[in-house]
Structures are given as structure tokens and as C-alpha cells.
Amino acid sequence: MRPAPNFVPKRAALFALAFLFAISGCASPPQAPENLLAPTEEQIKIRNMQTRTFDVSDRQAAMRGVIAALQDLGFIIERANESLGLVTAARFAEPNFFDVVGVTVTVRPASDTQMTIRANAIFNNEPITDPEVYQNFFATLERSLFIGRN
Amino acid sequence: MRTTIRSSSERLAALRAALLAATALVAGCSFGPKTTSKELFSLTPESAANKAMQTRQFETRDSDELLSASAAALQDLGFEVTESDRSLGFLRAAKERSAREYGQETTRFFVALLTFAVSVFGGQNALYVLPVDLQQQINASLVAQPIADDGDGARNEVRIVFYRLVWKGDGQSGNTYIPPGLQQMEMIRDAELYQRFFARLSKAIFLEAEKI
Amino acid sequence: MRPRPAGCALAAGLLGLAAAGCVGFPARHEIQGDNWVQVLLSDESQVKVRNAQSRVFDTTDRRSMLEALVATFQDLGFQIEVLDETLGIVSGKKYLDAERPSYSRDLASYLLYDEESLVVFNRVYRSWGPFQARSDLVRLTVTVRQRNVEQLIVRASAQYYLRPVEEPEAYQKFYAALEKALFAQRLAASP
């Protein structure tokens, strides 16, 4: 018995096509919002408190001070890249190990004798907006930059 | 007949509640007060003690040599280097190991046995298979930096922190499958590991380390 | 009689549980009394292991040694993650095809699973991706240090399936490959 040359019934093929059209309508991804990549007002407000200028002329020395300060605060240094001026560190809100604080610090020259240091702190994936947190961090950083180190 | 079912299902509910509470503790849920982010950016009384444990000073001018010796010391302890930045004296290393323990496996079996028995008498599925520790990753993050010399030659300081992640396997709670991968992390505050590391580092550079 | 359809399933589940520790990928994880012992390392075995892992070379040309090591890493299929000439470190990892879980359901996200992610981004209640203990991960770190005025000492340490590789044979093969790379280098250098 020879099989028919075209034994896929036309109706089944039509159903398959219709099905595909139907589900493609269900699978439309949402449109990216216009300001997905734009800074929010909140982030612009906290940018000022996240940035400080220090009287350090050498970027490497400034970054060493940042690393030392972060280590003193109990942070684990995760990334340190001198050529990019970037240090990333994180720590746990011990003894509670469910909350994580992460901080990304960038060091850029502001002028011949000064460095601009910006610290982005995150608490459980949300940016920290409390100014006292940044004040505490920069106080520790200042101590680390100018006392006991070259 | 009805009375029996009611009391046994009550027992079942109570047992399930007790087991859930036990599991929550085991799973590492903490119900204590949360540390706010303000405190995390200030020095605490423990900071100085941790620093002393994690830091040693070396009388060597060459911080590159010190960093290279640190990598060799970490290799001695079974670590594999995962990141480095020479100009900042930064090294990161990790090692993955098994985290299975006899105690946990036994507990898992008996809890499952108990809940199985309870299910059989209660008529509902209350089988509880505890997820147990399976794998751990022990990490080290190290920085070697020069410090201000006090007249008798430049010195270098090495500061290292060890921490580990432990992952649990899968489990079962009644008819719900508990997927694997529950992650716990802990900072290692055991002085012996730090002492061993610095002992090996000293050997690697043939110099005496001084505690701060 | 009360019907107990769940009873058979539960019995099967319990039997399966008893054997659960013996099958699948956890079966090859070693069990110990306390998993803290893995954090420290015993001193006794270290001398033998260090000898098996190290080789001395009668050259002080660190750069060529590192180039040969990089070539060897590439020949062995390792992704190089750390490379520093001054520090003398070459480090990499690879994933063995043979050890990869066979079912394809989660393969795509398994391959994307990155255990090296930063702590900040890794803090999820359950680490994402199908957790299969990365049974296919092999790590290799090689350090090159000055032994004395005329010699370099190279030490290779590998990790396979959650254990450090301590068999001398594995390292003999590695150094054989390195010697070939060094030889090829010397040939290329001299016309």
C-alpha cells in the first residue's frame, strides 16, 4: 500500500498556522518605557551627596585610601581596577545575612591637585538615599586618606 | 470515625507548623532586629579586632613581590586565583568544595521518615524532605599596599578577608518541590585560617611578619 | 476503607529519598563530619602535593614562560581570566562537556549561570539558574616565581569536581604540554 504523496491533511496545516498566529499575539513583549535609561529625579538629587572632592593629587593613592577605608568598614572588595578608577565592594548586614550593602566607588581627577570621589551605595538592590550614610562613609574615607597613609 | 479524622488532622497541622518553623530556622531566616545601612558605614568596636586578625605588615619594599607571594600562599591553601589588579595590589581567589555533612543527611532522612508516617496516618501528603548543604565556595579577597614608612624603610601591609557561600540542594514539602540553590553566606572570623595564610605567606617571602 | 492514593506515591518517595543521596550529582560530593574542615587545609599532605604540582625551569625569562603557559591553557581549552606578567599568575577555568547535565530542559540558563557574579547582584533568595553544583567546572591556576638567580619555579594547581587535583599524573601531563609549547616557542624564535 503506497502512502499518499501528500498525506498531511490541509485542515491540520491550516489549524497549525492559525494556532501560531494566535499565540504570537499572546507573546508580545512589553514596550520599553521611554525613560528606562534616563536618570530619575531621585537619583539626580542624591548625586550631590554621593560625591566629594578630596585634596589628593595621585589617583592610585586615592584609590588605595578608598580600599583601605572599605576594608576597615568590613566590606569585601570585589572589583578593583586602577585604570578605570573603579572599586566595587559589598558586605552583609551582620549578623543578619539577608541584607546586602553594595558600594561602587569611582575616583576621577577634578584638577591637578584634587580627586572627585563618588560612592554609589545600594541596600538590597535599592539605592541608599540617606545623606548620613554618605557622610559616615566619607568621614571614614577622609581618615583613611590622610592619617597613617602616604 | 469523624473524631479520629479531626484530631489526627489537627495533629498533622500542628506538626506541619512545627516542622515549618524548624525549617525556617534551618534555612537561616532571622527574625531579629535588622541592621540599618547607617551603621554599616561607620566603624564599630569589632572593626579594630577584625583588622588586627586580617592584617600583617611586612618589611619589604617590593609590593609586587608581596602580591606574587600572596598568590603562592593562596595556592598552598588550595585556592584558585580569580581576579587580580597589580597596580592596586588586589587579588581575589576562590575554591569550591563539597559541603555535605553526615549530620544533615541523617536529619533529612529522619524528618522525611517522620513526616511520611504522619502523612500515612493523616491521609494528606505532609512529606517533608529537608534541603541539605551540598556545595560551598570559599573566597578570599586580598589587598597588598605600601604604608607610610616611619624612617626605617618602606613597609607593606597585606589585608585579607575570607568568606564562604554554602548552597543547599533540593527538597520536597508536601506536594511542592523545593528547587535547589538556597544560598547562605558567612564571613569567616576564625583566626586559625588567617594565621595559616600569613604563616605560608611569610615562608613564601622568607621574611618575618609583624602583627599590628 | 479510606482510599489512599497518596500512600503509594509517598512510599515510593521515601524509598527514593533513602537512595537520593546515592544517585545524581550529589552522589559524588564527599560527605564529611563537618563541612568546615574544607575551609582549612591539612599540613601533612601539602609537601607531597606541592612537589607534584611544581617544576623548576633553568631560565629566568618570565615573559616567554607566561606566553608558553597561555598557549598551553588555550590548547587545553581553558578560558584565561587572570594574566599578569609581573606577578607571574595565569589562571583560568573551563567547563567539561562530559560532566554537563544531560537533560536539555535547563541547559540554556545553566550555561548562563555565573557563580562569579558580584555579591551585590548575587544576593537572591535562591541563586538563579538550575543549580547543578557546576559539576563540570575545572579551575587551573599557575604561578611563576623566581627560585634563585638562574631558575624559575612554576606551580600549577587544579580543582576538579569540588576537590583539589592531587594526582601527580595529571600534572605530569600538564607539564608535558607546557614543554611542547616551550619547545615550539624556541623553534619559532630561532630561524
Name the band, by pLDDT with cuts 50, 70 and 90, for residue A150: very low
Show residues of chain C in contact with B71, CB under 8 Å: 87-89, 141, 143
Check C123 against A79: CB less than 8 A apart.
Answer: no
How many cross-chain Cβ pairs, A to C, lie less than 8 Å apart?
A: 20
pLDDT for the residue numbered C100: 62
Check C122 against B196: CB less than 8 A apart.
Answer: no
Q: How far is CA C185 from CA B91, C68, C70, C87, in A?
A: 30, 7, 12, 22
Given a cut of 90, is residue A69 above it in pLDDT? yes
pLDDT for the residue numbered C13: 57
pLDDT digit string, tens, across residues C108-128? 555 555 656 655 555 544 554
pLDDT digit string, tens, across residues A15-53? 777 777 766 656 666 777 777 777 777 777 888 899 999
pLDDT for the residue numbered A31: 75
Low-confidence ranges of chain C (pLDDT < 70): 1-28, 42-44, 97-135
* Separation between Cα atoms, residue C134 and residue C6, nearest integer Å: 34
**Chain A residue closest to B156 (CA)?**
A149
Residue closest to B26 by CA, chosen among B125, B111, B117: B111
* pTM for the full predicted model: 0.77
* Separation between Cα atoms, residue A98 and residue B35, nearest integer Å: 10
Given a cut of 50, is residue A149 above it in pLDDT? no
Show residues of chain C in contact with B99, CB under 8 Å: 29, 35, 38
Q: Could you report the average pLDDT of every consecutive run of 10 residues in chain B (212 residues)?
A: 54 64 49 62 88 91 90 93 94 91 92 92 88 89 84 81 87 85 84 93 67 38
DSSP of B112-135: HHHHHHHHHHHSS---EE---EEE
Check B72 against C145: CB less than 8 A apart.
Answer: yes
Residue scoring higher pLDDT (A87 or A4): A87
pLDDT digit string, tens, across residues B147-183? 876 666 668 999 999 998 888 888 889 888 887 777 7
- CB crowding C146-169: b at 16 or more within 10 Å, else e: eeeeeebbbbbbbbbbbbbbbeee
pLDDT for the residue numbered B71: 95
- Cell 527514593 sits on residue: C16
Show residues of chain C in contact with B84, CB under 8 Å: 82, 84, 87, 89
Check B183 against C122: CB less than 8 A apart.
Answer: yes
Residue A118 C-alpha cell reads as 563618588
